Amino acid sequence: MLPKQLFRDDGEYFQMIGGMEPFGLESTKPKADNIRSSTAKMSFTKCHQADSVKSTSAVDKYNKPCRDLKTAVNKLTLNNDLIADCSRTYSLPTVAGKHQDLNSISPQTLSDVIDGRYKNVINSYRIIDCRYPYEFEGGHIEGAENRYSHASILELLQQPTTEKQILVFHCEFSSERGPKMMRFLRSKDRELNKENYPALNYPEVYLLDEGYKSFFNEKSTYCDPISYKPMIHSEHSSDLRQFRAKSKSWNAGEKRQHARRSIRL
């Protein structure tokens, strides 16, 4: 399994450039470990408590800028705490979620972000709600953006970004739609920056563990309106069929594009 910084879509990028063996790495991907050792946790905590606090060993070593592709691949492979452009360690504490290739955060951590408790390590945040519009209108996390289509994610990539900006993706359960859009963003971000690997527009992205339902159950006062409308709802069966049909067409288009790219390469 690929390290979390690479995602599965980044594996396609390495295939496009001829695999990982030319860079001195085995073709078998290292297994991402969702449960960090106590030593790693201590080092990680020190790194995100304040900008001026640094670990004296591994973090200093890995936080140096990546000079070439081989260096970047090695750094991302060997250190799961690095964000996807190698520039620094992840700012937020993560939990072991359903998707081992993605970094998940708890509802408590997201509410802490909203409350500004991580303003010493992040400059801004954006919450990307991948549910369908009728779900979003029926209740969403305050400040969230409703982006449920590939077009809306591509539009996000065209917007100006700031240093130390994070994205938090989610859907109803963060089981399918949120993770898919998160991987789609990373895939397109890699394509957009392929000449400057490992640079990315959004190198630090997270998945909200268990999605909006879990967040609403724990932190409903952070929702606007304070309500939760599930995807499967008697009043929106026609809306659901419409959006699902669109989703299938998007996925089919992506598969055809990937197949054409594979043939060309």
Catalytic residues: 171
Rounded to 10 degrees, what is the CA torsion of 87, 90, 96, 99? -50
- Rounded to a whole number of angstroms, the CA Rg of the chain reads 19
CA distance 97 to 120: 26
Residues in Cβ contact with 175 at an 8 Å cutoff, skipping those fewer than 6 apart: 98, 211
Return the closest-CA partner of residue 80 out of 105, 55, 101: 101
Cite the DSSP H helix spans in the chain. 7-16, 38-49, 58-62, 69-78, 107-114, 133-137, 150-157, 177-192, 211-219, 237-264
Provide the 8-state DSSP code for 29. Answer: P
CA distance 152 to 136: 15
* Helix, strand, or coil (residue 30): coil
Q: Which two tokens stand for residue 84?
A: 């996807």
- To which residue do tokens 């991302």 refer? 76
